[in-house]
Structure 1
């Protein structure tokens, strides 16, 4: 079986991949994650998932490389990783009472032959009409500075959400495991 490499240093993606109980390495892709002029949020996520896999491919010949990227958006507004409490509060204020779409793209690159498989999963997240006090308390308690959209649905952030709609709940956290299992099987990896 070829080596498996996660082209990410995200602790969230690493924890998700660990659920499959497969041996894997992680490698930082060092990819510019800026959107291109005129690029849709979905196109950004899909382009970056492939770019991340390709960025580490030369360091791991004979391997299967997993690249993933997520873009959160509503209409023309994107919600990236806030980095600070002030920006997290601002994002949550902008998202309250609205549906936000989290488009999570996935790529499995086979360095043995240069082929790759791609898929993407969109999740609609409807945020409750949150008060400023609720937002402030949430940000202070969870400090979601490294999460697109400033909310950790896998933790206390679930209290901010009215509903979620999507095909794979793992995609919202950062790695669509259902699609990944299908891709790995296609590449000849036995999961069970």
Structure 2
């Protein structure tokens, strides 16, 4: 029996990425509090939220295989989330210019019916160019990446903000590490091929 696959996310970017695996899936909002805990590292935050999102939806659909994911931009150990608006995006990008960040992208796959639980982290090292205030403003007006961790959409014009990207799972920077997700789905009994 092929179980239903559910993406526990409201992110259009994760939905678009998951369609690359060419398997039918549903999307359900996880509705979890994404507030960082005191002293929580960016890696721990991303992993906790990925698992909480998967578990929140798996509770409602215990027979399904549920994928949860989260991304946190890590600037020297400080978590940078989604800016939400233009002013915060401007402030984030000003702090990030000329810096190396690690985008911590976590994925969790859960099936309550079988007791399957796996979680992994796909860090992506990103070097930002030295950016003028005018370049930042032009980018933000063009892309409006207010729903992206760290205000940078590498799959669009945001690539012009960067000097280098280093990752073993290139889709992780967009928000869902597909290599790890595919491996976890296979382990959970979902046949991709």
TM-score bracket relative to the smaller structure: over 0.9
Give the distance between the partners of 1:107 and 1:25, measured in 2 at CA: 16
The alignment status of 1:107 with 2:108, answered yes or no, reads: yes
The alignment status of 1:135 with 2:136, answered yes or no, reads: yes
The alignment status of 1:190 with 2:191, answered yes or no, reads: yes
Which aligned runs of 4 or more in structure 1 are off by greater than 4 angstroms? Answer: none
Aligned to 2:180: 179
Aligned to 2:9: 8
Contact 2:73 2:102 in 1 (8 A): yes
Query: What is the number of residues matched between the two proteins?
Result: 192
Aligned to 2:123: 122
CA offset digits 1:14-35 (Å, max 9, x no partner): 0000011100001111100111
CA offset digits 1:81-138 (Å, max 9, x no partner): 1111111111100000000110111100012122201111000110000011100100
CA offset digits 1:123-174 (Å, max 9, x no partner): 0110000011100100011111100010100000000000000111110111
Aligned to 1:23: 24
Structure 2 matches for 1:86-101, cutoff 5 A? 86-101=87-102
User: Per the alignment, in what secondary structure is the counterpart of residue 135 of structure 1?
Assistant: helix
TM-score, normalising length: structure 1: 0.97
More displaced stretch, 76-85 vs 3-12: 76-85
Contact 1:65 1:111 in 2 (8 A): no
Give the distance between the partners of 1:109 and 1:155, measured in 2 at CA: 31
Give the gaps of 5 or more residues in structure 1: none
User: CA RMSD for the aligned pairs?
Assistant: 0.9
Give the distance between the partners of 1:41 and 1:58, measured in 2 at CA: 26
User: Per the alignment, in what secondary structure is the counterpart of residue 122 of structure 1?
Assistant: strand
Contact 2:41 2:79 in 1 (8 A): no
TM-score, normalising length: structure 2: 0.97
Give the gaps of 5 or more residues in structure 2: none
Contact 2:8 2:27 in 1 (8 A): yes
